[in-house]
Structure 1
Amino acid sequence: MEQQQLKRCPIGIQTFKEIIEKDYLYIDKTEYVYRMAHGASKYCFLSRPRRFGKSLLTSTLHSYFAGKKELFRGLAIEKLENEWTEYPVLHFDMSRAKHVDKETLESMLSFQLSGYEQVYGRPEEAVKLNDRMASLIMRACKQTGHQVVVLIDEYDAPLLDVMHEETDLPVLRNVMRNFYSPLKACDPYLRFVFLTGITKFSQLSIFSELNNI
Structure 2
Amino acid sequence: MARRLYPLGIQTFSEIINRGMLYVDKTEYIYRMASNGKYFFLGRPRRFGKSLLVSTMQSYFEGRKDLFKGLAIERLEKEWTEYPVLHFDMSGGKHMEEEQLEDYLNYRLEEEEKKWGITKPHAGANNRLIDLINTVYKQSGKQVVVLIDEYDAPMLDVAHEVDQLGKLRNVMRNFYSPLKMCESKLRFVFITGITKFSQLSIFSELNNINNISMDNEYAGICGITIDELLTYMSYDIDM
Q: Do they superpose with TM above 0.5? A: yes
Calculate the aligned-residue CA RMSD, in Å.
Answer: 1.1
Checking the alignment, whether the CA contact within 8 Å between 2:96 and 2:154 is kept in structure 1 is: yes
Q: 1:122: how far off?
A: 3.1
- Of the candidates 192, 201, 205, which is equivalent to residue 205 of structure 1? 201
- Of the candidates 107, 110, 122, which is equivalent to residue 103 of structure 2? 107
Aligned length: 209
| Equivalent residue number for residue 26 of structure 1 | 23
Q: What per-residue deviation string (whole Å, max 9, x for no partner) do you get for residues 71-109 of structure 1?
A: 001111111111111101000000011111111111111
Q: What per-residue deviation string (whole Å, max 9, x for no partner) do you get for residues 105-135 of structure 1?
A: 1111111111111122337462110000011
3-state DSSP class of the match of 1:167? Answer: helix
Q: How does 1:10-21 map to 2 (within 5 A)?
A: 10-21=7-18
Q: Distance in 2 between matches of 1:65 and 1:131?
A: 25
| Equivalent residue number for residue 7 of structure 1 | 4
Structure 1: gaps (5+ residues): none
Could you list the structure 1 runs, at least 4 aligned residues long, displaced by more than 4 angstroms after superposition.
Answer: none
Q: 1:208: how far off?
A: 1.3
1:58 lines up with 2:54 in the alignment: yes
1:128 lines up with 2:115 in the alignment: no
Q: 1:51: how far off?
A: 1.0
Q: Which has the higher contact order (CA 8 A, sep 6+)?
A: 2
Q: What per-residue deviation string (whole Å, max 9, x for no partner) do you get for residues 139-175 of structure 1?
A: 1011001100000000000000001102211110010
Q: Percent identity?
A: 64
| Equivalent residue number for residue 87 of structure 1 | 83
Q: Distance in 2 between matches of 1:125 and 1:29?
A: 37
Q: Normalised by the size of structure 2, how large is the TM-score? A: 0.85
1:45 lines up with 2:41 in the alignment: yes
Checking the alignment, whether the CA contact within 8 Å between 1:45 and 1:194 is kept in structure 2 is: yes
Structure 2: gaps (5+ residues): 210-239
